[in-house]
Each structure stands twice: as C-alpha cells, then as structure tokens.
Amino acid sequence: MPKKEREKQRLITNLASEMAESNLAIFIGAGLSIPAGYVNWSQLLKPIAEELDLDIEKEVDLVALAQYHCNTNQANRGKLNQLLIDEFSRSAKATENHKIISRLPISTFWTTNYDKLIENSLIEAGKVPDVKYRNQQLAFTKPRRDAVVYKMHGDIDHPSEAVLTKDDYEAYHVKMQPFLNALSGDLTSKTFLFLGFSFTDPNLDYILSRVRVAYNKDQRQHYCILRNVKKLDNEDQADFEYRTRKQELFTQDLLRFGIKTFFIDDYTEITTILSELEHKYKRKTIFISGAAHDYGKWGKENSEKFVYNLSKDIASAGYRIVSGFGLGIGSSVIAGVLEHVYMNGGRLDNEQLILRPFPQPNAGQQNLKALWKDYREDMLSYAGIAIFLFGNKFSDGEILLSDGMKEEFDIAVNKGLFTIPIGVTGFISEKLWEELVDSNLFDRIPNSHEAKRLFCLLGDNENSLDDVRKLVIELINLLQ
C-alpha cells in the first residue's frame, strides 16, 4: 500500500475511533462553502478594493482592507454589511461534504462562516441544530438538540454583528470572551478536524492565535486537511519552490497547536475521506433482514436458536443491530441482544439495538407499500453491513419467496452496504447468495480474497449453523 494511502487510512481510523467515543468535532472554514457557490474573501471584497483604488489581486491582508473601507467612511460599514447580505443570504445547495458530516454522529461544529449550510444540512439529515452566534445564546439549550453549531464570526441574518474588520478582531477577546471559553473547553476535551482552510483564508492567523491561547501543555491531537501547493500557469519554478517551502514551514508550525496535517492533491479527496469515514462508522451497525414462515431443513427450533446466538455474538463483538422485526426472526434477534446487554450489566438503548416494527393496518393516507419502502430506506440508512436470513412468507395457501427482503437487498446495494446473504438458510437468501458469489462485491474491500472465501462458505450446505455463525462474525470483523 502506498505511503499516502497508509496515512489516509490511519487518519480515517483515528477519526472513526474518536467519533465512536463522541469526541470528534469539526471546525469549518470558508473553503467548504465555496463549492456550494459562495464567494471567497477576495471576491467578496473586490468592490471595496476598487472603491479604495486598490488591486484585490495584490492584497494579502483582507481584514485590513475591510478596515480601510470603514476608516474612509467614518466607521460606517453599511456597504460591507450589504455585500454580506448580497452574497451569503441567497440560498445555496449543500455540498456532498456538508451532507456527509451532517449524517455522522458529530455533535459539535465550529465555523467562521456566515452562511447557513451547516445547520441546513443537519436539518435535512433529520437532526436538530442548536445554533450559537451571540454570547446570550450560550446560556440556553435548544430542546432535543442533536448538534451545537458555534458560528464564532456571526450569522448572515445579523450582518452588522459579523466579525469582519480589524476593529472586530481586536475587540473579539473582550466582546466574545464566552465563545473563546467554549472553544477552549472543546479543544481540551475533543479532537478537531479542520476543513476548508487554506493559505488564502484571511481568518486563519486569527483562528490559530485563539486556538494557541486555548491549549495547555497537554495538547490533544487534532487534524487538518490541506491541498498541496500547485504550480500556477506561467509561474517561475523558483516562485513555486518558494511557496512549497513556505507550506512546509507552515504545517510544521501547526504542530505547535497539536494539529497534524494530511495533504491532498485535489479537493475532491476531502469527499473521499469523509465518505470512507462514514462507511467505516456505519460498518459498526449491522442490519438483519429475515422472514420465515418455513425454516426449511433446519427446523424452527434450530433456526431460532441460530438467529438468537448470531444476534448475541454480533452484540457481544461491539456492533449495533438494526432490524425490522421480521416474521419468525425478529423475536430471536431481540432476545439475543437483550441477553448480551443484561448479562453485562447494561441497559438497552440505540447503541445496541434499533428496532423498526413494520406498521400493518393500512391506516392513514399513505399507501402501505410506499410506507414500508420508506421504512426500509430509513432502517438501512443507519447500517454499513446487511445480513439476510431465510426469506419466505405464506400467501394464498403456499410458501413464497419474500419480496420485502428482496427490496431491502436492492436498497442495501444502492446505499453501498456490504451485503451478506446466508445461503445455507435457503429461500431468498440462497438466491441472493448465488447472485453475489461470482460478482465483483469483493473488489472494493481490503483482504478481498479472504472475504470471498468466507462468503463462499456461507452457502456450503456441509457447514452446520454453528459453523456458519462463526463464519459470519469472522467476515464482519474482517470488513472493519
């Protein structure tokens, strides 16, 4: 494996570990909003520079530029406020990066951005954001909140309060001390991933100075993703090497703040990293799909015992289970998880089991079949691995293959879950196993040869149910 790939996997593993312990926080800079269609600072302040007879391309300290405008207008920042409203109050479509981080189990977000992309993405993900951009808001807690969004430079709904000029930054430690205290606490207790920062971000120096004040000698490890310096068109080699050296020195300086940098060559790699992080997190959640009116050659007692022990083993291995309480399967799933939880002195919650019993009567205005599809979409959105067991139903006097399980299988495939039909249980699971055994399912995972060997054994009728149970746990562990 190339060095960069090893470093990327190490980064994802570390972030996933912190996220599993609810210790991961995200700090978002302007770079994450630009792909959504918002302007950067240079574009925002270009009219201001022209008014001052300055060339925006030559200006490095854009905070000073904003201050020059106020100085020449007797401290009136009305035009600046209008520029903020014009550029950041218009609606913009959230990027894939915003969508991914909003789906992850992250409860703390910090940003210097004025836009509403973070909170809107959280709402679209079905979460309740508690947004803070004024000192007074820190004293109140929004009911049933899922995440706190600290907008330390203000919100577009109140442009006159936005931190924008030198005056604003110089007074920040006095006017907004509660925010610095909150940030200090989070930097001490959480691991931060900094996204969307670059050398051209005028806020970076100010942010780092605040971060530096918040740290003590026992620093937590934080991470930052930056793009490697690229040679510009018609740029001299000496100038390019100068910028490269400056980047090296800058990232070495970040280590003083406990921030380790991971370099990318293209911004699309951020989406790849976040996607892999989401997949890694979701693979800790196992969806169990099953329905059985007929248990085939194994019989009811042996089959229920198998499902019970398999669910218990999955829970014991530290995985969370999602299930729809399938016919002849659901009770055994619950019993297996409960035994593990209570035997270890715990209590049952969403960290061990998410149960979604299907509504049966066709009440209300929504078609029952459509409602069931939405239900399946919701259940499978939690998981990264899907297990399929048996799969039949009794209808019109005969045993039929479960079309509901087939629908769950199709949804799982479309969502990118790793699907594990246990072929030896027969019925629709056997057909799904036969469909996958010679597919390219294994091409996209590490240890593909061993994973395929284990998968093939799940359809070998020479194996006992106890053998199969152990093979499933081994395969799930391998997929991590």
Residues 209 and 328 in one domain: no
Residues 313 and 206 in one domain: no
278, 13 Cβ separation under 8 angstroms: no
- Domain stops at, among 246, 280, 314: 280
Quick one: pLDDT at residue 207? 67
Q: Which distant-in-sequence residues (6+ apart) come within 8 Å of 399 by Cβ?
A: 293, 294, 392, 393
Residues 343 and 224 in one domain: no
Residues 263 and 317 in one domain: no
Residues 302 and 240 in one domain: no
Residues 289 and 233 in one domain: no
Using 50 as the pLDDT threshold, list the residues of the chain that sit under it: none
Task: Kindly report, residue by residue over 140-175, the tens digit of the pLDDT.
Answer: 999 999 999 999 999 999 999 999 998 998 888 889
Quick one: pLDDT at residue 149? 98
Smallest Cα–Cα separation from 383: which of 255, 247, 282? 282
Q: What is the pTM of this model?
A: 0.82
Residue 420 and residue 412: Cα distance in Å, rounded? 10
Residue 443 and residue 186: Cα distance in Å, rounded? 40
Q: Which distant-in-sequence residues (6+ apart) come within 8 Å of 376 by Cβ?
A: 324, 404, 407, 408, 411
DSSP 8-state class, residue 162: S
Smallest Cα–Cα separation from 288: which of 192, 180, 205, 379? 379
Residues 328 and 428 in one domain: yes
Residues 135 and 26 in one domain: yes
415, 381 Cβ separation under 8 angstroms: yes
- Domain stops at, among 280, 302, 332: 280
Quick one: pLDDT at residue 366? 58
Quick one: pLDDT at residue 441? 84
User: Both tokens of residue 423?
Assistant: 């072929």
Quick one: pLDDT at residue 261? 96
Three-state DSSP class for residue 108: strand
Q: Where are the alpha helices (DSSP H) in 363-459?
A: 368-380, 403-414, 427-436, 448-457
CA 348 to chain centre: 25
- Domain stops at, among 232, 259, 280: 280
Within a 10 A sphere around the Cβ of 208, how many other Cβ atoms? 18
Residue 419 and residue 433: Cα distance in Å, rounded? 9
CATH, residue 377: 3.40.50.450
Residues 369 and 462 in one domain: yes
Residues 344 and 461 in one domain: yes
Residues 276 and 290 in one domain: no
Residues 70 and 109 in one domain: yes
- Cα radius of gyration rounded to whole Å, the chain: 27
- Does the active-site annotation cover 153? yes
Domain count, the chain: 2
Q: Which domain holds residue 211?
A: 3-280
Of residues 153, 158, 173, 279, which has the active-site annotation? Answer: 153
